[in-house]
Chains A and B, each alone.
Chain A
Amino acid sequence: MIKLIEKIEGEAKLNFHFKNNKIDNVDVDFMSTRHIEDILKGKSPLDALVINPRVCGICGHAHLIATVRALEDCYESIEISNKAKIIRELTLNFELIQNHFKWFYLTIFPLFGFKQNVMKAVIPSQLMGKAIALFGGQYPHTSYAIVGGVVCEITQMDLIKLGHYIDETIQFFEKNLLDVDVQMLQDCDNVMNVLSKSGDLVDVLHLIEKNGWLEYGKSYDRFIVFGESSYFTKGKSIKTRVMHNLFLEDVIESVSTTSFAKSVHYHGKYYEVGPLSRAMVKKTPLIKDAHKKYTDSIFTRILARVCEISQLLLHCKSLITELDLSEPSYIKPKMDITSLNSSGSSAVEAARGTLIHKVVIEDSLIKSYEIITPTQWNLCGGVNENHGVSQKAMIGLENIEIAELVFKSFDVCSVCTTH
């Protein structure tokens, strides 16, 4: 039985195979592609900073940051001020936050029988858009992070405004999603404390319990995070065992015969990426507790994504205090990038998980460019024995509606996947 899954930044086709009334296999098919990697070939390296945000309307900023880091990786050494590094981290975090609000209120909320709440999605995401625009000039589709730093200069006055955007978003979180002081939530290590509160997140979690869905959505219980920042830690977690030495070279992308999306594995294995993975590798107390009780089910996955909002907001507040405005925003690289014959790569944590960019520069132009998106990790899968992460999570379910919920719990992005 084929179902068209709509409104996931595009569409995907799921072909369900049933055996004894249970889903026995699912083929995930993305139906088109836009050839961005080919479009980049032969362009001037810096132009990638303008083209790549256009991979995706909702996580284009992560593509910008991945691009600038991959280009900077082409240098043997390049100096970036601490201030520029912090600003880049801030704006990337803001993008993650707006994404999570949109995902919860536009995608997840309606699957639990509530009316889609566009205003609750846009009020906080507009605030985060302003916070990015303060540095980048606009959101979406700024290219303000360039090789050597960021183009903007900011003042104390800007930081006052920024503080308001963040505080208002925190208040919105507390008032709507979960009525707990975000600071206390940070230290909370018992998911029961969350369930005893009120808010839209709590309503959804209660429904998962009440409907008997706590077992749904479990996959390999294998998580991976490549992007490092002052908040996220690189590593992989296999059934709570965390290891930190990972090698980008061992990430393999392979072409699928059935879909435009290519599949991605690490040492031959599929891993889940995204907020749940980040929390597992970072050992966030609340998510660890939920995982202990419900492992990698939709309960834990949804909780992890929503709680990442408050964690990142608080982290941004502390990052701002580390900004030294007297540092330069931009340090002109000693060599022009077009004078390099080199290659570079980067890994960035985007809203949906690890995003990898690889570039080769030759004769002052881009020779090749490769983009591996988070949704590829989560959704692309193999055939039969070697199921992808989301396939595995849907197998064994009895009905297609639940399978759609499980699928969407990964926060699928069709446009990214079909770049």
Chain B
Amino acid sequence: MKKKVRILWLGLMTCNGNTHSFLNYPHLEQFFNDFEFIYHPIIDSEYSLEDIISQDIACDVLLIEGAIADDFIKADVLGIDIIKKYSKIVSKIVTVGTCATFGGIFKESHYKNVSGLHFREDKRTEKYNHLFEKTISISGCPIHPETLVSTLYAIKKGLSLKLDSYLRPKDYFAYTVHNGCTRNEYFEYKVDNHHFGELEGCMFYDHGCQGPLTHGSCNKILWNEINSKTRAGLPCMGCTEPSFPKQNLFSTKKNMGIPEFLPVGVNKRVYLTLAGITKAFKIDRLQKKLLDD
């Protein structure tokens, strides 16, 4: 029998959203031919959490889900003690989700020093510096299942992945969420009359869409294989980014009519020049409803 890669899935300060998102991976049977969980929050495993805590179990990859805090207790022990023990045993660590990577929603809870493993928002935390080389970050609230599973396969195959400065695989995080959104034309030609509940319109101008400033594959590899937030008509909340969650998520912050946050790599001058040109034209097709005559 071929040797399976052994994974410890450790849930700390989490909603389990990544756990459930992972279950949406369309080829799970295939996955289980190649990987086994020594512990998982809901899938049965050879060892119990108590075993994991009381013994040193052989393991290849440590997955951390949820924010990390100095004083967060898991089954009567400090969560960070479990991390400390298994980070020595494994050859790779993957932070699963925005909480485990940047602190996410729960960085605002009342625990001590809440953060992701290496980052609190976009600042390095230093504490686990010795693990930096070992770590890959999969951010997202929740993670996209394919992003996680393919990264695990890359680890299995020993591929060298190109990572961004937050340790995220560029294969997924070099794209912006804006890339591939069905509302792109409205963005390009600056049609800024979006209304919720419609197929038409881009949410960048008024409704807070962070697609152009968010790194992620949402519109490249669709969710649940069929859709994405922005395609459905919900602004991107920037859930893969260190700053998640920002405030006033359903509206675009503007200074003198110009969005405060511009697309990644686009400076204000470029933006204004392009906006000026496109605004000079009116494209009738984009003013009409898509399905009308």
Sampled A-B contacts (19; CB under 8 Å): A31-B73, A34-B109, A35-B108, A36-B105, A47-B245, A60-B15, A60-B17, A102-B42, A136-B232, A138-B218, A139-B24, A140-B21, A141-B142, A151-B196, A151-B232, A152-B197, A153-B197, A415-B14, A415-B15
In this complex, the interface size class of chain A, counting residues with CB under 8 Å from chain B, is 35 or more
A11 contacts B245, C-beta separation under 8 Å:
no
Stretch from B121-129, B130-138, B146-154, B246-254 contacting the other chain: B246-254
**Known contacts being A50-B237, A126-B224, A137-B227, is A118 close to B76, with CB within 8 Å?**
no
Cα of A44 to Cα of B237 in the assembled complex, Å: 14
The 8 closest A-B CB pairs, nearest first, are A330-B197, A329-B197, A137-B232, A138-B223, A57-B16, A57-B17, A137-B229, A133-B224
Identify which of A2-10, A277-285, A311-319 touches chain B: A2-10
Name A110's closest neighbour in chain B (CB-CB). B44
Contact of B224 with A129 in the complex, beta carbons under 8 Å: yes
Within 8 A of A (CB), among B102-119: 105-106, 108-110
User: Interface range on chain B: under 10, 10 to 19, 20 to 34, or 35 or more?
Assistant: 35 or more
- Please tell me if the beta carbons of B229 and A134 are within 8 angstroms of each other in the complex: no
Do the beta carbons of A149 and B196 come within 8 Å of each other? yes
Q: How far is the CA of A236 from the CA of B247 in the complex (A)?
A: 40
Which residue of chain A has the shortest Cβ distance to B104 in the bound complex?
A54
In chain B, positions 1-51 with a C-beta closer than 8 Å to chain A are 11, 13-21, 23-24, 26, 28-29, 32, 41-44, 48-50
User: DSSP class of B's interface residues: helix, strand, loop or mixed?
Assistant: loop
Whether B228 sits at the interface, judged by CB under 8 Å, is yes
* A-B residue pair count with CB separations less than 8 angstroms: 200
Q: A150 CA to B230 CA in the complex, in Å?
A: 13
Known: A137-B229, A139-B223, A150-B197. A126 touches B24 (CB 8 A): yes
A146 sits at the interface (CB 8 A): yes
Contacting residue for A57 out of B15, B108, B109, B198, CB 8 A: B15
Residues of B close to A39: CB separation below 8 A: 105-106, 108-109
CB of B178 closer than 8 Å to a CB of A: no
- Distance in angstroms between the alpha carbons of A193 and B12 in the assembled complex: 45
Q: In the bound complex, what is the Cα–Cα distance between A142 and B226 (angstroms)? A: 14
Q: Does A122 contact B (CB under 8 A)?
A: yes
Q: Which residue on chain A has the smallest CB distance to residue B23?
A: A122
B175 to chain A, nearest CB (A): 16
